[in-house]
Structure formats: C-alpha cells, structure tokens
Structure 1
Amino acid sequence: MLQGASFSFNVPTIIEYGRGNLARLPDFVRQLGGKRVLVVGDPGVKAAGIVGRVTSTLEAANIAAFAFTDVESDPAVQSITDGIALARDKSCDLIVGVGGGSALDTAKAIGLMLRNAGTIRDYVGIGKVPHAGAPVIAIPTTAGTGSELTIWSVLSDTDADVKISIGSVHNLPRIGLLDPELTVSLPAKFTAATGMDALTHAIESCVNKANQPFTEALAYQAIALIHKSLRRATHHGDDIDARGDMLLASAMAGIAFNATRLGLVHAFALPLGNKFGIPHGLVNAIMLPAVMAYNASANPDAYARVAALLGHDVAGLSNSEAANHAAQAVHVLRQDIGITQTLADFGVTPACFDAVIGEAMTSGNVAVNPRYPTADDMAMLLSRGIDGTF
C-alpha cells in the first residue's frame, strides 16, 4: 500500500457466529421488527431440509414464514420478480436468505425491490439504489461467496444473455447469521469449489491496487484459515471445527473484497460462467493459478506472503522469488481437494476468446488488478485455463 493513500472501510452488517445459531433466528427477526418473513432458498437447501428447519424455527416462535425456493444456481432476473410477487402477496416485511451465494443474492435483491421502484435491471452497476430495502437476514450454508456480508447481487439476465451485478450499501444484509452446523451436509465437490471461491476473494483482495490495512488483515487471515481447514472440510465434512474455519474465512474474504473489489479471475468468471455454465467457484479455481502467475511480478511482497500462508516453503527466498511460488501453492491445494478440470472440459475453445475477453474487459475488477492486461494477455490466460497450466 502506498504511503499517504486514503481509503474507506465500513462493515454495517451485524455478524452473529456460533454453532446452533439458527435457534436464535426468531430473536433476530423480532429485533428487526419482522412479523411476516419470506424465506428464500434454493432447491438444494430445500431438499436438504434446511429451508424447512428455518420456517419451522420461525413458526414455532409464532412468526409467519413463507418459503420461496425457485432460485437457480445462477439466479435469473425472473426469480427476483417471482419472489417479490410472493413477498407482496403474503405482506412480508423481512427476508431471510438461506443457502449459497445464489440464494443469498436473490434474497438481497428481493429485499431491495420491496422498497424501491422499477425493476432490478434499473440498478445494475454500483451506487444506483436510492432507498434501503426490507431488512434481510442472510444465513450461508456454503463457505465461499461471502454474500452475507457484501453489497453485491450477481444475477443472470437471460434476455440479454449476460450476467449483471447490483452493488449498493442498501444491498447489505442487516444480519449475517453464521452457523457451521448448517454447512456439514454440503457435498465434498461443492465444499471444494466454494472454498476456492473464498480463497480467490481473499487473494485477489489482498494483492490488488485497492488493498488497504483493514482488508489486508482480513484477507490474510482468511487465507491462513483456508490453508488450515479446506482440505479437512472437503474430505471430512463432519469436522465442525474445519467447517467453522471455512465459514469465518469466507466471511472475512467477503468483507475484504467488499471494500477493494477483486481482479482478473473474477473479470473472467462472469462471462465464462454465463456462456459455458461453469460453476462460479470452479471457474475461479481453474483460472486462479494462471492469473496469480501473471500478476506476481506486479506485487511480489503480497504474493510472497500468500505463498507462505499457503504453506509453501519460501525460507531464504527473496520476495520476488517467493512470489513465483504462490500459484504453485494454489495448484497443489486445488489438486488435493479434487479439482482437476480445465476450461476445455466445459467446451471453451480459442474461437470463443473474443466474446469472453470483450465482456471480461468491461468488469470493474480489471482496473484494480495488479497489472492492466492487453487483449493478448487475456487470451494467454484463457489458453492456460484450457490446458491447465500456469
């Protein structure tokens, strides 16, 4: 970070962490004045019985609860419209989002639109939402997106065939309820992919041009926790301590990138996810080592620390030398947790590059990346994503 730099840092969301925290949900709803609650989840958390646990917990406390689980893995604008209609029909005054990033992003957007005019498309970008939405309590069941603590909702606009992002302080949940017990049923492959999403958030935040002391501390701690616990959480899903570490790491990384934005991995993630259906955490895992290797020379001090935090032996190396080991450390981690796919496995070919690069370069994450890429640089990174090298 440059001497004399200025920055802002704000964490208005209340974080409530603890095993069994779901039992406290009715108290939090009452604190926020909620009487009729829309519980937003996805089919997966519904099938796992978690949506039912949430609604039952509320109803046992005499709080009316209505479930909305029509949420895709890449939530469409139509889901927001349908959720708003149900919330209004049931006179809901508070939203509880439960699930992964898709469910939480949908819940936040529904809350926004209950108290703002127009459609969600009117607020694409950052800082365009005029009024606070209905209060939202976000309950993550994955440890990856950090959506319970971020200003962003990422949605699919199927009409335009693009992903859109809505960023606003009004899009922050009022409470992030973190209960590691709700994450133990997550299958290994999703634990791995969402964990790599959290790692990408942390790394891109702490190495980019907008990094600052508060975000740096959170991001580095998140990386340390992920190194300590992602392998255990993936291969021993009932390890509640590892699950708790990952939930905290995801939240910390979310707070960090909320203030800094991210980098080229996330610039690529939106078009690759939208055009080829690659799950968000997985596309991050595929692209992260290549982007790290490309960026290392632009911020060797930060990348050297990342390498050390990920357990790579950098003793006796200069920061420039150590920085070049960071990508290898991430590659080893993703192999250890079973992520071996490349972009080629999802049908990405050089013929697609221009369309992907064109959309990626419109991302606000490009400007804060440690290096500003040319189109040729972006094509090189996609090529490495195809063949799995870095």
Structure 2
Amino acid sequence: MRAFSYHIPTQIEFGNGAIARLPEFVKALGGSRVLVVGDPGVQRVGLIDRVQAILTGASIFNAVYADVESDPATRSVDEGTVHGKANGCDLVVGIGGGSALDTAKAIGLMLVNDGNIKDYVGIGKVPRAGAPVIAVPTTAGTGSELTIWSVLSDKVAKAKISVGSALNCPAIALLDPELTLSLPPQITAATGMDALTHALESYVNTATQPISEAMSDQAMTLIARSLSKAVADGSDVEARGDMLLASTIAAMAFNSTRLGLVHAFAMPLGAKFGIPHGLVNAIMLPEVMRFNHLANPRKFARIAEIFGEKTAGLSVEEAAALSVSAIEKLKLDVGITAKLSNFGVTEGRFDEIVDEAMLSGNVPVNPRQPTNDDMKALLRAELV
C-alpha cells in the first residue's frame, strides 16, 4: 500500500435545529463581532434574519454582507472584506450554498491577509490563517463547508479561479437539515448530483486511499437511499439529513484526493456558458463513467451494487458497465434531462473548452487518461 496523508481541520456539528447553537460556537472560537455572509436568495427566505436574531439574542454584534452572486466574482470577496473590516469583524458566518460559503471563506482569509484574493490563486499560497469561519450549508452538494477550496469567477476573463489551502477550511461546519427543507426540487436534484459526483470521482480516481474510499462509499450509499426521496418530498427531514451528511462526507473524501474529468469539464463549461455547477456535473457524469469504467472495473462494479443493480453471476466488467445505466436512471428519476446544447454549447467551442479542461489538476488523477479527441467525444455525446 502506497503512503498517503489525510488531514481535516474542520469541526463538524450535525443535528436538527443545530443553528440555535451558533452563539455557543462563536464564543468558543473567541469571536465577538460577526460578519454574516450570504446571498440574496438566502436573505429573501429569511435565513439571514434568523441568524441575526440568534446572534443578537445572545448579545453578539453582527453585520451582514448578502450580495454574493451565483458563481461568485472576486468583487464579492472584495466588498465583503471592506464591509467586515469597517465593522471590526473578527469571525465570519457563511450561510447558503457553495457560492456563499466559498465567498465567506475567502473573506475570512482577507480579513487578516494582505493584498487581494487573486494573489492567492492556486494551492498553498495563503501565508496566514484568516478570521475563523463557521459554515452553515443550506444546500446538500458542494461540501464547501469543509473543503480547502474557494472557487470564484473572474468575470472579465470568463474563467473560474480557485484558492486552495488548509488555512481556507472553516473552523466549524454547522449542519442543520432543517435549513434545507425549503430547497426546491430542481436544486435538490442538481446539488445532490454534485455530491454524488464528488463521491464517485474521488472513489475511482488514482489518488484514492483507504480513508477517502470508505467515506466515498458511505456518501454514495446515503445518496442512493435518499436523493430521490428528498427530490420527491422536500419535507422528508430524514432524507434531507442523509443528503446533507452525504455532501459533507463526500467533501471529506475529495478534499485529499481531487476528482476527475467531470470536474475538469465543469470549470470551463460553468465559466463560459453559465451552467450551474451541479447541473453540469449531472450532464457529464454518465458519459465520463462510460469512458472510465473499464479502467477501474472493481470500483465501478461496487457503484452498480450501491445503486441497486443486480450484479450476481456477472463478470466484474459486466457489473461495472451497469454503474453507468444506474446513474442514468437516477438522473431521470430526479428530473434531470438537460443537455449541453440547452446552454448554447456548440461543437465550434469544443477546442477552447477542452484546452482549459486539460489544464485541470483533476485530469492527471482520472482513472483513464484522455486525449483531446477523447474529450471532444465526451462533449459531443452530451451535446444534444
């Protein structure tokens, strides 16, 4: 067995109604002036008001920055940092989906570190720990509540940029399934497929190791049991809890392993065509699995079993092939039928998409190494 390293600095707190414990965690981290970071949607449904009421009720000062956009621009980090510094904030509470949490984490860094967030693009470039961040996810997909990454958008270059550092991990991930109950079915489906892609790509890639494998397996088991239920009945708090845990556990896996071709494609397709991250993952996942499954048939056979395929009496290769149809069935079950052409992707743009995708650090760990022509074929298969 090859050597590996596993590290996760984030404390995880899970439970229905756990948001009520927020003041306890703020005080434990030494915070006295809190910047609450979210997006207009979270503010519109009253969750930011709820957080403020909890903090104010415990006599904890709080200010709000709620202008985080989808696929957040570096502008959001700059504005939030200015607002946090102007209010003397020493702790950040991020509440929302991946965009809000990624922005909150980056603001936490910039409350302490000099320069601009763009100075720290890449991995391991952040010099000092930022202000503590408590991450409160309201979707079950990105895993941003404990990953090392903040994925931001350079709107001028129409490109995604990533800041990766162990210093970017939140101090606490506060997981309250009740906060996800109002998530619409289509977002539940897309974010759930995002969590699945995280777990699956981490499970089969060449950087996987026993700890991440166990977590990926558990995350997929929870998703197989509860994604369809959560989409069909958003009030099913048990299914919501399963999905929230699955998202976080999948992030614990890929945080140390990276991912694969689906996420390599997701960066340019998201930046250039505005395809929501979970949805682009859902679109590309089955075709990438079809490309990869014979490179690691034992793992793909296990995926087929997790998602209920009957594999008894089949060769491992035959069982592996069933994993693709299992995920295609799941996509249809949760109502995802979109294709790349629905978002303006054309074959004439394939070169620029593939050129950018091939630069991703997720390509070298993919179980099968693609050529540029392979990558174009994968796009073509999901075009219409």
Return the TM-score normalized by structure 1. Answer: 0.98
Task: Name the counterpart of 2:265.
Answer: 268
SS in 2 for 1:112: helix
Cα RMSD after superposing both structures = 0.6
**What are the Cα deviations for residues 213-265 of structure 1, in whole angstroms up to 9, with x where unaligned?**
00000000000000000001001000000000000000000010001000000
Q: Which range moves more in the overlay, 97-106 or 318-327?
A: 318-327
SS in 1 for 2:382: helix
SS in 2 for 1:259: coil
Task: Name the counterpart of 1:327.
Answer: 324
**What are the Cα deviations for residues 177-219 of structure 1, in whole angstroms up to 9, with x where unaligned?**
0000000000000000000000000000000000000000000
Task: Name the counterpart of 1:26.
Answer: 23
Distance apart, 1:118 and its partner CA: 1.1
Distance apart, 1:163 and its partner CA: 0.5
Asked whether 1:94 is paired with 2:63, we answer: no
Amino acid at match of 1:307: A
Distance apart, 1:267 and its partner CA: 0.3
Amino acid at match of 1:138: A
2:164 counterpart (164, 167, 187): 167
Task: Name the counterpart of 1:279.
Answer: 276
2:334 counterpart (337, 340, 345): 337
Paired with 2:310 and 2:43, the residues of 1 have a C-alpha distance of: 44
Task: Name the counterpart of 2:151.
Answer: 154
1:65 counterpart (56, 62, 65): 62
**What are the Cα deviations for residues 44-78 of structure 1, in whole angstroms up to 9, with x where unaligned?**
11111111111110011000111111101100000
5 Å matches for 1:355-374? 355-374=352-371
Amino acid at match of 1:161: K
Amino acid at match of 2:17: G
Task: Name the counterpart of 2:229.
Answer: 232
Amino acid at match of 2:99: S
Return the TM-score normalized by structure 2. Answer: 0.99
Paired with 1:169 and 1:353, the residues of 2 have a C-alpha distance of: 34
SS in 2 for 1:173: coil
Asked whether 1:136 is paired with 2:126, we answer: no
Amino acid at match of 2:278: G
2:46 counterpart (28, 33, 49): 49
Amino acid at match of 2:89: C
- Give the 4+ runs in structure 1 shifted more than 3 A: none
Asked whether 1:176 is paired with 2:173, we answer: yes
Q: Which segments of 5 or more consecutive residues in structure 2 lack a partner in the other structure?
A: none
Asked whether 1:198 is paired with 2:195, we answer: yes
Asked whether 1:76 is paired with 2:67, we answer: no
Paired with 2:89 and 2:312, the residues of 1 have a C-alpha distance of: 57
Amino acid at match of 2:382: G
Distance apart, 1:159 and its partner CA: 2.2
Paired with 1:127 and 1:148, the residues of 2 have a C-alpha distance of: 18
Paired with 1:85 and 1:30, the residues of 2 have a C-alpha distance of: 23
Paired with 2:359 and 2:83, the residues of 1 have a C-alpha distance of: 34
SS in 1 for 2:246: helix
Distance apart, 1:131 and its partner CA: 0.6
Task: Name the counterpart of 2:3.
Answer: 6
Paired residues, what number?
384
2:120 counterpart (119, 123, 126): 123
Task: Name the counterpart of 1:347.
Answer: 344
Paired with 2:288 and 2:51, the residues of 1 have a C-alpha distance of: 40
Amino acid at match of 2:81: I
**What are the Cα deviations for residues 349-387 of structure 1, in whole angstroms up to 9, with x where unaligned?**
100100100110110000100011100000000001113
Q: Which segments of 5 or more consecutive residues in structure 1 lack a partner in the other structure?
A: none
Paired with 1:312 and 1:72, the residues of 2 have a C-alpha distance of: 40
SS in 1 for 2:363: helix
SS in 1 for 2:364: helix
Amino acid at match of 1:77: T
Asked whether 1:248 is paired with 2:245, we answer: yes
Paired with 2:316 and 2:23, the residues of 1 have a C-alpha distance of: 50
Paired with 2:123 and 2:293, the residues of 1 have a C-alpha distance of: 29
5 Å matches for 1:198-217? 198-217=195-214
Distance apart, 1:314 and its partner CA: 1.2
Task: Name the counterpart of 1:108.
Answer: 105
Distance apart, 1:160 and its partner CA: 2.0
Distance apart, 1:10 and its partner CA: 1.0
Identity of aligned residues (%): 62
Asked whether 1:257 is paired with 2:247, we answer: no
Amino acid at match of 1:318: S
Paired with 1:146 and 1:97, the residues of 2 have a C-alpha distance of: 13
Distance apart, 1:38 and its partner CA: 0.4
Task: Name the counterpart of 2:33.
Answer: 36
Amino acid at match of 2:279: L
Paired with 2:99 and 2:308, the residues of 1 have a C-alpha distance of: 32
Paired with 2:382 and 2:4, the residues of 1 have a C-alpha distance of: 34
